[in-house]
Structure formats: structure tokens, C-alpha cells
Amino acid sequence: MRFLSPDAYAKSIVASVQDYSLMCARAVANIFTRPRYTADIFTQMDSIGVGSLPIVVLTGFFTGCVLALQSAVSLKEFGAVNMTGGLVTMAMIKELGPVLTGLMVSGRNTSGMASEIGSMKVTEQLDAMRALGTDPLRKLVTPRLVAAVFMLFFLTIISDACGIGGGAFVAVTMLRLNAEQFFHTGYMSLAHGDIVEGLVKPLFSGFIIATIGCYYGLRTSGGTRGVGQSTTQAVVSSSVLIILVDFLVTQLMIGIFGR
């Protein structure tokens, strides 16, 4: 492992942030200009959205089950077991649904994007695309960006629904609570700001997943070993950024809506 001086390390970080920002700006600008690769967008929607559906459904369902069990144990001490539905609904919609969906999709798709584009980079396919007059950013990055942002929105809604359904299943079958009361308590506990917060977070998560995966793929070097390193770095970076942005968005929404 090669060690860098603090000065060189700081410069490399600044250069990486600059390159990432420029790539994101170009990818977003490509959305509003032609040519648009619509077929590639739908292909990526199928890969990111439909391909991630099973893991999102399972993660959301069992998260709701565990959350209902843990909530009931804590609420029983205060004689408020009937509030389990409100706690599960609030936690899933505001926090657990968006974050867990982002992390699951990140682990599955960020690595795929980085390895696919990284393999194209080390085998000089990107140079061949440029030689033929095709912009790799427009062809590879922009479709993934549009597909990830669009599909994360709906995957999060599905995860929220499965989580609430899992909580209701545990509440009715194991805790002997009334299903109608569970859903009514959950509905009454929500406010407009809670739903807005839960639907804004996946937009940022989708943006991070697509741009980080493509960025590390485009900067891959060193053959197949470099592809593996880029894949690992992409997954770690996207996961950390999703959690960081979740904190910032939560803080912003609390400042706007007061809860």
C-alpha cells in the first residue's frame, strides 16, 4: 500500500470531489438535451427496480415484524401497547423504509454499476465509444441516474407498505391486537411533513447510488484488480453518503415541519 503525504492526500480528495461534481453536473445537464437513450433508461429501470423488488419486499416486511415486537415490549411498560401501530408506521415511513431501501439497493446496484463500467474502462470500450462519437456519460451515466431516482421513489413506497404490513401481521397474530385499530393508530399518527420526508429521502438515495457507482466505474484502472477495488469503494462510499444525507435531510425537515 502506497502512503501519501498529508498535502498530497488532501489534494487527491479535493480533486476527487471536483471530478465527481463535474460528472454529476454533466449527467444532469444531459437529461435536458438530445440525444436521449430512452431504451437504456427502461433497461436500467428493469434492472434497478424490478431486480431489487424481492430484497426490498423481504427487508421491509421483516423490519416491520421486528419493529412491532420490539415496540410492544417497550410500550407494555407504559400500558400503551395499542400505540404499536403508530410507532411502526412512523418509523417505517420517516426513517427505516427510505434508509434500508437505499442501503439494500446500493449494495445490489452500486457494485453492479461500478463493476460493469469499470470493466468497460479497463478493456478500452469507453475509448471505442468516444471514437465512434458517443458520449459515455450520456450513454452510461444519465440513464442510470434517471432510472435510479425514479425507481427508488416507488421502491421506498413498497418497502413502507410491506413494513407496515409486517408490523400488522405480528401485532394481530402474536400480540393479539386489533388490525383495524393498528392501521387507524398508524394513520392518525402521521402528518403531512412525515410523508414528505419519507418521499424526499429516496430521491437523494437514488442520485447517490447512480452517481457514485458510475464515478468509481469511470475512474477504474489497473485491470481486474482495479475493478474489484472500485466496486468495494463504490458500495462503501454510497452507503456512508446515504446515511449522511439522511441525517441532513432529517434535520432540514425537522426545521421546516417541526417534527
Domains of the chain: which residue ranges?
37-217+224-257
How many Cα neighbours within 13 Å face the side chain of 163? 32
Residue 3 clears pLDDT 80, i.e. is over it? no
pLDDT in tens, 232-252: 999 999 999 999 999 999 999
pLDDT in tens, 62-112: 999 999 999 888 888 888 888 899 999 999 999 999 999 999 999 999 999
> What is the mean predicted confidence (pLDDT) over 103-126?
92
What pTM does this model have?
A: 0.92
Beta-carbon count within 10 A of 33 CB? 9
Are 248 and 242 within 8 A, CB to CB?
no
Residues 6+ apart with CB under 8 A from 38: none
Instruction: Compute the mean pLDDT over every residue in the chain, rounded to the nearest whole number.
Output: 91
Beta-carbon count within 10 A of 17 CB? 10
